[in-house]
Amino acid sequence: MLLIIAVALLGWTLYSVFCLVGNIRRIQKIGIPYHVIPCSPVNPLWILLEPLIFFILGLLPFEFGRIKHYGRRTWQFTDKAQSHMRMGDAWAIATPNEIFVYICDADAITDIIARRADFVRPIELFTLLNVFGPNVATTEGADWQRHRKIVAAPFNESLNSFVWREALTQAQSMLTTRATAGPSGGLGTDTRTLALNVLAATGFKRSTRFQSAQEAQSEDPRSYAQSLKTVMLNTFLIMLIPPSVLKFPIFPSWCRRAGEAVEDFKQHMLNMFNTEKTLLDQGKPGTGTLMSSFVRESTVDPKSNKTVLTLDEILGNIYVINFAGHDTTAGSLTYVLFLLAAYPNIQEWIAEEIRTVFPNPDRDTWDYKEAFPRLKRCLAVVVSTRPNPPL
């Protein structure tokens, strides 16, 4: 058995080296500077084991500078523009699986975005998001256009206004909770809870009061809010291991709970789907939620006799909206708040703008359409904080 494992590891290592050499040669043909790291930073197993890997690397007497820098998912934040300043407007990272090309030229980026047929997204990197079904993140070509058209439709100024009001409510609730409930699970936990609560209210009109860690523990773990939170917190585990397998007794209790949460969350979505479908079948407008919009598009197109959006695709898109929306929002908010604490001068700079835009402390008078376009300093801080992904 040990011999078989050793041969398998040797074979995998040789194959990885062969692929890495091939990718290096492809970059050399392009003629741009590059770095080499032994594993892709978007490899699911690498992502799962990243904390352990860097803990072990930190104990070794070697630097592993490039791996420690470019091997982290968040390396762009600390790097800023340093790599471009060293290597130019275009450079690359070679791994055994992929080549990542980073571009810092406005004309080149505009050309790439405009030529979707020539620069196709690497769909294989996103297939893990098919937890509940195909969605806008895991499709390409005509399929992507179909998903994109339907998913983008509900995101309009009316919805933005609702998000504005709910975000104000949740932020005030978070501040009140922190002032009265004492220590929390951390700033990242608070911003994630805020983002999930806003998403739940936006997508399904289920407004949830911001809760402390102690209050959340006492809530029914199979409720919509807790199921959604459990699924989002264990996203990478759920992507790597089928939820039905996670429920096996061999896994620890928190893994089994993650598998159960997937089924609970799916049941909640199915109940919402059936409710919206009943309302629409009765000639009623529905609840005006994301689910309502998606159900409206799930009917059969009379011209092609094909279902515009299947049930699995609806569930898949609801999931990916929650995943992408909560993670990016929570991460950006966490970084913004930490950086504002570190740079009091910037904190005062945007505070001056907020006091100017909102002279009345009554939140009910803070109108989205009137106020949002004037928050230019706040927007600048958020845009400057978010790390830019590679193209």
pLDDT tens by residue, 240-272: 788 888 888 888 888 889 999 999 988 988 888
The arithmetic mean of pLDDT across residues 318-341, rounded, is 87
User: Domain for residue 238, yes or no?
Assistant: yes
Per-residue pLDDT band for 66 (boundaries 50, 70, 90) equals confident
Domain hosting 37: range is 1-119
Bridge partners of residue 36, in order along the sequence: 94
Per-residue pLDDT band for 107 (boundaries 50, 70, 90) equals very high
Q: How far apart are CA 368 and CA 157, in angstroms?
A: 9
Same domain, residue pair 194 and 95: no
User: Domain for residue 11, yes or no?
Assistant: yes
Give, in degrees to the nearest 5, the angle at Cα 68 between 63 and 69: 120
Q: How far apart are CA 239 and CA 249, in angstroms?
A: 19
User: Domain for residue 56, yes or no?
Assistant: yes
Other C-beta atoms within 10 Å of 16: how many? 15
Other C-beta atoms within 10 Å of 390: how many? 11
Same domain, residue pair 76 and 168: no
**Is the Cβ–Cβ distance between 259 and 243 less than 8 Å?**
yes
In the chain the beta strands, taken as DSSP E runs, fall at: 34-36, 90-94, 99-103, 300-301, 306-307
Tokens of residue 37, six digits: 């790291």
* Whether pLDDT at 389 is above 50: no
Same domain, residue pair 81 and 19: yes
User: Domain for residue 352, yes or no?
Assistant: no
The contacts of residue 66 (CB under 8 Å, 6+ apart) are 35, 36, 37
- Give helix 311-342 / helix 344-357 axis angle, nearest 10°: 110
* Whether pLDDT at 48 is above 80: no
Give whichever of 34-48, 108-122, 367-381 has the largest mean pLDDT.
367-381
Q: How far apart are CA 259 and CA 129, in angstroms?
A: 15
Residue recorded with tokens 């409510």? 169
In this structure, what are the phi and psi dihedrals at residue 100, rounded to the nearest 5 degrees? -105, 120
Per-residue pLDDT band for 381 (boundaries 50, 70, 90) equals very high
**Is the Cβ–Cβ distance between 262 and 238 less than 8 Å?**
yes
Q: How far apart are CA 34 and CA 278, in angstroms?
A: 56
Same domain, residue pair 85 and 198: no
Same domain, residue pair 297 and 245: yes
State which of 342, 364, 382 marks the end of a domain. 342
Per-residue pLDDT band for 388 (boundaries 50, 70, 90) equals very low
User: Domain for residue 124, yes or no?
Assistant: no
* Whether pLDDT at 391 is above 50: no
Give, in degrees to the nearest 5, the angle at Cα 225 between 223 and 231: 95
The arithmetic mean of pLDDT across residues 104-114, rounded, is 91
Total structural domains within the chain: 2
In this structure, what are the phi and psi dihedrals at residue 137, rounded to the nearest 5 degrees? -85, -15
The contacts of residue 238 (CB under 8 Å, 6+ apart) are 131, 231, 246, 258, 259, 262
Q: State residue 184's pLDDT score.
A: 62
The arithmetic mean of pLDDT across residues 56-71, rounded, is 83
Question: pTM value?
Answer: 0.75
Q: Residue 320: give its domain's CATH number.
A: 1.10.630.10
In sign, the C-alpha dihedral spanning 225, 231, 233, 235 is negative
pLDDT, the chain, mean: 84
State which of 310, 326, 342 marks the end of a domain. 342
Q: How far apart are CA 60 and CA 64, in angstroms?
A: 9
3-state secondary structure of 301: strand
pLDDT digits (tens, 9 = 90+) for 287-297: 777 788 888 77
State which of 299, 323, 342 marks the end of a domain. 342
User: Domain for residue 39, yes or no?
Assistant: yes
Q: State residue 390's pLDDT score.
A: 38
Per-residue pLDDT band for 221 (boundaries 50, 70, 90) equals confident
Q: How far apart are CA 361 and CA 349, in angstroms?
A: 18
